[in-house]
Chain A
Amino acid sequence: MSEQKKFQSIEEKQYLVRFNADTKSHLHVMDPDICMTSCPDKICTIFCPAEIYKWEDIRMHVGYEGCHECGSCRIGCPHQNIKWEYPKGGHGIVFRLG
């Protein structure tokens, strides 16, 4: 690679990571109405390091398959509205290097 590309996107970053996703999500928005009515900032869509939370008009889409299992959403949700569990043993993110 000759030249450093400017500003790599989150999609490009996530592409570098190995995931062994379970068939069901380990993350759950407990009350979808709270996101809709009481959370104008939807800050999880900003601070999640894998951008797995995406607001789609009327609902929060949770792309759990790309989760780094860092725990930020559980701690950072201003309404404590995220049920956070570990993925089933052997599933989820698999770091190969760092």
Chain B
Amino acid sequence: MSEKFDCIVVGAGPAGISCAHELAKGGAKVLLLERGEYPGSKNVMGGVLYRKMMEDVVPDFWKEAPLERPIVEQRFMMMDKESAVTVGYKGMEWGKEPYNNFTVLRAKFDQWFAEKAVQQGAVLICETVVLECIVENGKVVGVRTDRPNGEVYADVVVLADGVNSLLAQSLGFHKEYKPDEVALATMEILKLDKGVIEDRFNLEDNQGCTIELFGDATKGILGTGFLYTNKDTLSIGVGTLLSGLIKHKIKPYELLEYVKNHPMIRPYIQGSEPQEYLAHLIPEGGFNSMGRIVGDGVIVIGDASQLVNAIHREGSNLAMTSGRLAAETILTAKAAGDFTENMLGLYRTRLMSGFVGQDMQKYKDSTHHFDKFPQYFDEYIPMMNRAMSQMFTVDGTSKWDKQKKIWKDLGGTKEKMKLARDMYRAWRVIK
């Protein structure tokens, strides 16, 4: 491995593959390194892939990619212990081209996607860990891998090594994350007959549904759960800030079992057979945790630079767009023969002026806010459930009296003021 590449991309996930694909397509000599046995073997996500950002890299991908189901319905459940308030949207426009998003199983999907990059001319080498960046005179000039004589050189190294980006950390681009900057998610793939899935989720063939779970799914601590439909499996999972698990001394897999056995969830998954159990960290520090993303000869993309919009459960799409923009920048740099931080800084400018940067800035205080004020999850969601129960239980009480009871349930003047203030605050951090 002594030859020199135009670019080395570390990590074959959505960010790294998008970047390698676009670079190879643009005529650059690209090496894509993956530590797993195959692309996807270390990669985890709940399972929603967004059409728009994927299409920007592979047009019409839905005609050939291994997708599970196009999502036609998105539901949100605000859960209490034995009840839930559910809202959602279902639309037939999402069930046909060009689609909105799809569920995918990453081990299959990432292998297919990496193969597309290889078809463009990228060189993919798996089972290879990058131990460190080779730095000369303050400039990244290559990487040292765990293979014998494993030094490889390139004009630019792209770090797409995921949430545990030890490489970006060792370059001093960001400090070690704190437990309140990452969420620990555990999930399971449950086998269930295709027809049963369609019956239970009110779907037809080649239609999918996503359900996001709030409130009691995480026992009131900051986080969310999810239940997604695949072809003949379900993906069910739950994620909370690592700091929340530590503070409340909760075992993540017990929380997952709690969700699976919750009376609002159990009927959906009854009789299914667990196929695989997965755990992964999600970077949720947002904009304030991004750190440095560009240096001389190096760019950081995807999860490695905290590109996750936790409020909207988006991540893979930000990763893909960051990979594509990094590739565009590197191709410009290649044409100019200039790989300095100054030149590569164009990536940061492009990223931050587009939807990725704007959304990161829009929600920059959201994780911190909802973490600091747990009442949204442990007080207001149960309150909402009680109000609905009160209003829709027909027991001879007049609706005026019911409204009075609900109003009383909100507490005294002090509590009502607090509620109003919290609603205003929540609106401020997500507006």
Contact = CB atoms under 8 A, between A and B. Distances in A.
Contacts of B253: 10, 13, 49, 51
A1 interface: yes
Contacts, number: 153
A23 interface: no
Contacts of A86: 35, 129, 164, 166
Nearest to B233: A97
A46 B35 CA distance: 28
Contacts of A40: none
Query: Chain B contact residues (Cβ within 8 angstroms of A): what range?
Result: 35 or more
A75 B272 contact: no
A78 B249 CA distance: 13
A81 B246 CA distance: 16
B129 A50 contact: no
Query: Chain A contact residues (Cβ within 8 angstroms of B): what range?
Result: 35 or more
A16 interface: yes
Contact of A49 (B41, B260, B276, B279): B279
A45 to B, nearest CB: 9
B270 A4 contact: yes
B276 A96 contact: yes
Contact of B127 (A4, A10, A90, A98): A90
B166 A97 contact: no
B334 interface: no
Contact of B184 (A1, A47, A98): A47
Contacts of A49: 184, 186, 252-253, 279
B278 A94 contact: no
B107 interface: yes
Contacts of B108: 97
A13 B184 CA distance: 16
B266 A75 contact: no
B107 A97 contact: yes
A8 interface: yes
Contacts of B163: 71
Given A75-B182, A94-B37, A8 B257 contact: yes
Interface string B94-118: 0000000000011110000000000
Nearest to A71: B164
A4 B129 CA distance: 40
Contacts of B430: none
Contacts of B251: 10, 46-47, 51
Contact of A4 (B126, B188, B249, B272): B272
A95 B271 contact: no
A43 interface: yes
A28 interface: no
A56 interface: no
B274 A46 contact: no
Interface string B154-192: 000000000110100000000011110010101111000
Contacts of B276: 16-17, 95-98
A16 B242 contact: no
A59 interface: no
A95 B273 contact: no
A20 B38 CA distance: 13
Of A2, A41, A72, A88, the most chain B CB neighbours within 10 A belong to A72
10 contacts: A4-B266, A7-B254, A7-B261, A47-B184, A74-B164, A75-B179, A87-B129, A90-B37, A95-B106, A97-B233
Interface of B: 35-37, 40-45, 47, 105-108, 126-129, 145-147, 163-164, 166, 176-179, 182, 184, 186-189, 233, 235, 242, 245-246, 249-254, 257, 260-261, 266, 269-281
Given A78-B246, A89-B147, 16 more contacts: A4-B261, A4-B266, A4-B269, A16-B275, A47-B242, A70-B280, A72-B281, A74-B176, A86-B129, A87-B129, A88-B129, A94-B41, A96-B276, A98-B105, A98-B187, A98-B189
